[in-house]
């Protein structure tokens, strides 16, 4: 994993992180008041965003990363190589980067095997003063996915 300044990101990665920041404003979070946004770039270059959507039965809450992945799949996109994640509290910015939870890491690992790419995750603090980029294999070492079950993923690549 590497730490990087916003100004050192490629223009494409800056655009992705800014899209995640914009998506963060759409979060439905009446319980935690914590806003999270995610944005991925589909294989055709289109940016697909997601935000967290909480639920009174807590376990039914959907994280921003999963929201973006499922939205992309519903739009016909299952191949992507990068995702940006950013979050903030209701009244205060975060000083540390926001990273995917365990369930999101598993979904990203599955997506990586579908995509045949070691997806890069751009993780940012609220004000983009601290940014860390890591691959899904760094975030979920020894992950278990469809390839471990001998599944052929070609039919899911779009």
Q: Which residues are catalytic?
A: 65
Question: How far apart (Å, rounded) are the C-alpha atoms in residues 17 and 37?
Answer: 9
CA angle 91, 94, 95 (to 5 degrees): 140
8-state DSSP, 142: T
Burial class of residue 101, CB neighbours in 10 A (0-12, 13-18, 19+):
middle
Question: How far apart (Å, rounded) are the C-alpha atoms in residues 135 and 85?
Answer: 13
Other CB atoms within a 10 A radius of the CB of residue 4 amount to 14
Are 98 and 124 a contacting pair, CB within 8 Å?
yes
For residue 73, CA distances in Å to 10, 49, 110 come to: 26, 12, 13
């Amino acid at each position: 994993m590497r730490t990087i300044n916003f100004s050192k990101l490629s223009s494409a990665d800056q655009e992705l992180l800014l899209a995640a920041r914009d998506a963060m404003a759409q979060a439905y979070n009446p319980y935690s008041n914590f806003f999270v946004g995610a944005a991925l770039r589909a294989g055709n270059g289109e940016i697909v965003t997601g935000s967290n959507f909480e639920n009174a039965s807590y376990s039914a809450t959907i994280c921003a990363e999963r929201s973006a992945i499922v939205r992309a799949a519903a739009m016909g996109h299952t191949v992507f190589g990068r995702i940006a994640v950013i979050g903030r509290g209701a009244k205060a910015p975060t000083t540390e980067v926001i990273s995917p939870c365990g369930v999101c890491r598993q979904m990203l690992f599955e997506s990586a095997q579908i995509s045949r790419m070691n997806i890069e995750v751009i993780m940012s603090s609220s004000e983009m003063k601290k940014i860390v980029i890591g691959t899904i294999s760094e975030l979920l070492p020894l992950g278990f996915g469809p390839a471990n079950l001998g599944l052929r993923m070609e039919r899911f690549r779009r």
